[in-house]
Structure 1
Amino acid sequence: MTDIIYLRLRNRAQVKPNEKVILGHMAQVLAPEEIRNDLLNLPVYQVKEEDKNIVIIDVMKVIQFIQAKHPNLEVQTVGPPQTIIEVVYEKKHMSMPLFVFVWLLLFVGAALAIMNFHEDVSMPEVHQKLYTVLTGQEVAKPLLFQIPYSFGLGLGMILFFNHLFRKRINEEPSPLEVEMFNYQQDLDQYVIMNENKESMRHLDDN
């Protein structure tokens, strides 16, 4: 009697350098209890130094490993056809002087960008005209508008990015997080197409 198992590869899995990748790292498996643990611990790939930080494992290779050990199993796959194995190396601690330098660089750059934008759209003149329209007086520095506007600009940035330092304001993703997600999706697709040898066939392939 042939048993049927269901296999769903994860989009991405993280492992340590020189670690042995087992099926449980990279896939969800629905199988009879008597063979499920054996399948989850099935070795699929051994990470090597020349792999650097990305390895692509195709679902066809996984099926070959499964059927080599359990020839009577019928494998039904759902989900993505490849898994990206990310080799995570130990991160180096950032030095405090470097952190302060990068923080100042970003702060000054953001401040200059905002000031240049305000200069391009003549924001001071706009505030002066609004003050004149509402109060009937002409002043060079309408602080009644400029001070609330400055606080509102900072508050608007916090609400736009949906973060106050590391604290999320609500569960809705910010536009920056959405853009980072789309970038990661495009990057994963590029890596899969270029690093997976099974996804392309060249004229000089046997």
Structure 2
Amino acid sequence: MNKIKIIGSACIAVALAAVVSACGDGTTRSTGMEFSRNMYDPIGYDADQVNENFANNITAQTPPEGTVPIGFENFGLQYENTPEAYEAAGANFHNPLERTEENLKQGEVLYLRFCQPCHGESGAGDGSIVQLGKFPPPPSYSTGNSSRGGMMKDLSDGKIYHTIYYGLNLMGSHASQISPEDRWKIVMHVHELQNR
């Protein structure tokens, strides 16, 4: 029984010493020891703060001309929204994706999600929005004439991609809604519709 009292008293003394030593003396603003200091003070520079590593002391430097951010593409830098750039894209810009069943299937799903409401399931220009009677039908991919000249069935990879990126007439730009890879998959599916 004596041993239990001694051990209990020792535990209470240690706990009391820990509590007392954790309390400040009221004269300092110290927070004591901190665990994982880098969680409180980030290692990276704050983009709004002065950075002495650069001559102009700015952390957020302007990127070099012509660079492309990760996850973006330079299509908009190469081909502007002009008739000349449309023709250049048609001649020089080709689908980098391999024509596989998986890409074709994904292209069909994306087409149905983004393009079908206007262009229709088969690309005949009879989509659900057109059937409301408030919008004129877009030209058919297999038999229609392009508003830029030529037949819709003759549109190349680059011309279709350019139109998806910038839009045309009543069709708005889909650059912000559809990723570059998905645009190419839609281009594959449009080629399927051109041949029907």
Between 1 and 2, higher relative CO (CA 8 Å, sep ≥ 6) is seen in 1
Kindly indicate which of the two structures has a greater share of residues assigned to helix. 1
TM-score of the two chains, using structure 2 as the length reference: 0.24
The TM-score with structure 1 as length reference comes to 0.24
For the pair shown, the structure with the greater C-alpha radius of gyration is 2
